[in-house]
A and B are shown apart, each in its own frame.
Chain A
């Protein structure tokens, strides 16, 4: 089910928004104008990926440098080993909507 989260204009390109749902979700607005949503908490340790370093379609965890692919949730290297969940995003009339994925968190 799509839920309205925030206006796209509130997330500058290259920035992220932390949606305080349970578990929290990070919504990224890339420099190329794409919008992605993934679980916000790094699968390695308690860190908010919305605070991370966004580069292209990857975000680097702000603490320990594991990079997650925003499209697939895959992690590219240690210390994290498990992927994050990705969530479907639609932008309608300037509003970011997210459909939370079913299934367990990593």
Chain B
């Protein structure tokens, strides 16, 4: 294999390039990115970047290193042609390669009926964040649609800048999917602690305004006046460009645990891939930063025909909001029990352990990094029944 294209120039793409060099690949690496920016760190976009505590330069992921990458930025891949072993780009280029690492990530889901309305934003890219940061320079009434992690972090950042913030969530309990209803409800209390209103259980029915957003209307008829709206309602994998490639796409590029696809010269990793997870016991599309950091090394080994390293580490993510550190590791399923083993939720400092059949399968920490790490390293994948 002499020439490898990495399609996607964010964390997973950069991690793949590092892994290629780390695994002694000396051939040509072409990295294709739809965004105009070199790889940057997304987690601060909803936090310190919005509040001005960090700058664009601070976000750079790849200074001081020479990986010998041929960057093709600002132009998206539009087609993968396995017969010609080539990738077509939006600017008309066709690049022939021996191997492909698909790391095209995901994009923010847009709220319905937002087209043509100024002041309605999603937050995924640096350009999104630059626009939103500009909007936040004044103050006013912000409605955040979606009380997931991005929504909560944006609410927290805007509140600290003096905005009047309301968070609306269609589900009865925020974060019930990843954290379960009990812990989701506990974490959602952080909003009220900081004077942010949270309205759950009622979906948004309309965005009102002529040129610019004026109000958010809920299904129960309530109208929330808004000078600014940010929607954090999930992400859609960037896989449309693979139509006709022969790859199996089902909510993402389907791979095994090691990133292998149905084509021997193509692997997929990061947010765009649906990969078997020993912790979930099934294929999942992980959107965690740490997955995009760690999994590419496995996918690269698969591409190079080497043995894929298995760290055995549990999935891990964090969220910083309202000055509180939330950390979660493992995988929670409906029916798992959860108990608080340390601390006190009322003090906004506790550790909770999730169990299945008496085995710890996940752990949640609020302002408990030391204890959290101890529990996190004890988590092991639950053996699957054959």
Contact = CB atoms under 8 A, between A and B. Distances in A.
A and B held together in a complex: yes
Interface of A: 47-48, 50-53, 62-65, 77-79, 81
B370 A79 contact: no
B182 to A, nearest CB: 24
B43 A79 contact: yes
A83 to B, nearest CB: 11
B290 interface: yes
Given A47-B369, A64-B318, 16 more contacts: A50-B370, A51-B369, A51-B370, A52-B373, A53-B373, A53-B376, A53-B377, A62-B370, A63-B318, A63-B325, A65-B293, A77-B18, A77-B293, A78-B11, A78-B293, A79-B61
B290 A79 contact: no
A65 B290 contact: yes
Contacts of A51: 369-370, 373
A13 to B, nearest CB: 15
Contact of A62 (B11, B15, B290, B369): B369
A78 B18 CA distance: 11
Q: On chain B, which size bracket covers the interface?
A: 20 to 34
A20 to B, nearest CB: 15
Contacts of B377: 53
Nearest to A76: B18
A78 B372 contact: no
A65 B64 contact: no
Given A63-B318, A65-B293, A65-B316, A79 B41 contact: yes
B238 interface: no
B64 A62 contact: no
Among A47, A48, A53, A81, max chain B CB count under 10 A is at: A81
A64 to B, nearest CB: 7
B156 interface: no
A51 B372 CA distance: 9
Contacts of B316: 65
B327 interface: yes
Interface in B297-331: 316, 318, 325, 327
B250 interface: no
B66 interface: no
A63 B293 contact: no
B385 interface: no
A64 B325 CA distance: 11
A52 B373 CA distance: 6
Interface in B22-74: 41, 43, 60-61, 63-64
B369 A81 contact: no
Contacts of B64: 81
Contacts of A81: 60, 63-64
A73 B377 CA distance: 22
A44 to B, nearest CB: 9
Contact of B327 (A63, A77, A78): A63
Contacts of A79: 41, 43, 61
Nearest to B290: A65
A52 B370 CA distance: 7
B359 to A, nearest CB: 20
A52 B63 CA distance: 25
Contacts of A50: 370
B372 A62 contact: yes
A47 B14 CA distance: 25
10 nearest CB pairs, A to B:
A51-B370, A62-B369, A62-B373, A51-B369, A78-B61, A79-B41, A53-B373, A65-B290, A53-B377, A51-B373
Nearest to B318: A63
Nearest to B316: A65
A78 to B, nearest CB: 5
A55 B43 CA distance: 25
A77 B64 CA distance: 12
B369 A48 contact: yes
Query: Which one of A47, A65, A78, A79 has the greatest number of beta carbons of chain B within 10 Å?
Result: A78
